[in-house]
Amino acid sequence: MKERIGFIGLGIMGKPMAENLIKAGYALTVYDVVPGPVNELVKAGASAGLSPKDVAQKSNIIITMLPNSPEVEAVLTCEDGLLDGIKPGAIYLDMSSIDPIVTKRLSDEVSKKGAVMLDAPVSGGQPKAIDATLSIMVGGPKEAFERVGQILRVMGSSAVLVGDIGSGNVTKLANQIIVALNIAAMSEAMVLATKAGVDPEKVYNAIRGGLAGSTVLDAKVPLVLKRNFNPGFRIELHIKDLANALSMAHEIGVPLPLSAQVFEIMQALKVEGKANNDHGGIIQFYEKLARTEVKQE
């Protein structure tokens, strides 16, 4: 018998993730403060929850996919919140990318209700949420991870238990540092090639099979060449992740000078009104400085 799943947070990532669970035959109760996605998923076979409490009362597994720590905390602790309805023995699976310190605090509150929390942030953006090939990084008890393993495999191509509660979000922050610095390096290289008069598409095709090749390079350069900055993962969300990484790093005494620099580049783009651009839009910062534009010839 399949678990009854509650899903809270049906945005750019959450909605396709929930759709994949419905397609796999799971019974879903869904909730979001925006009614449109809820209505769409109800038409696809889900039930609408009246509140986070209602979702928790109707579910053995509750998933949240929300923007940041304050939203996750609010869903748990608000009036008619998730903690008011969660049942003993339930698993709360937070797939948001939030501050690991907040994760640990919320896990303590979930434990008081006789339930278990896992933090399971994802990497891959909207395209991989749609085609169910997300990479999922999980922190928490092994027994709970094994119980939700099949559910995670419906949404992602890999799910790895990396440690105790909070470890998933630490891993996600490490991931976001690498992605941000990769995009910045790609941006510098492509702007340099373009300003030097070399076709950036040919440069990309020449280097992608060598040591400089990466998933980031293959995902972002083709979009940049088409001047497509529609969000797969918004700059403002990457700002949030780097802010969490810098905050944790300062607390435990780890310098992150390159991350701090890319963080400020993203902040500059946000000031220019580009917060909702895809994070591949980082290249626009370098293009402005070099007075050139990277595009297909």
Catalytic residues: 172
d(C-alpha 295, C-alpha 293), whole Å: 6
Q: Is the distance from CB of 48 to CB of 35 less than 8 angstroms?
A: no
E strand or H helix at 191: helix 167-195
Q: Is the distance from CB of 29 to CB of 49 less than 8 angstroms?
A: yes
d(C-alpha 274, C-alpha 287), whole Å: 14
Residues facing 234 on adjacent strands: 278
**Rounded to 5 degrees, what are φ and ψ at 70?**
-60, -40
d(C-alpha 190, C-alpha 210), whole Å: 16
Q: Angle of helix 200-207 relative to helix 215-225, nearest 10 degrees? A: 160
d(C-alpha 289, C-alpha 242), whole Å: 23
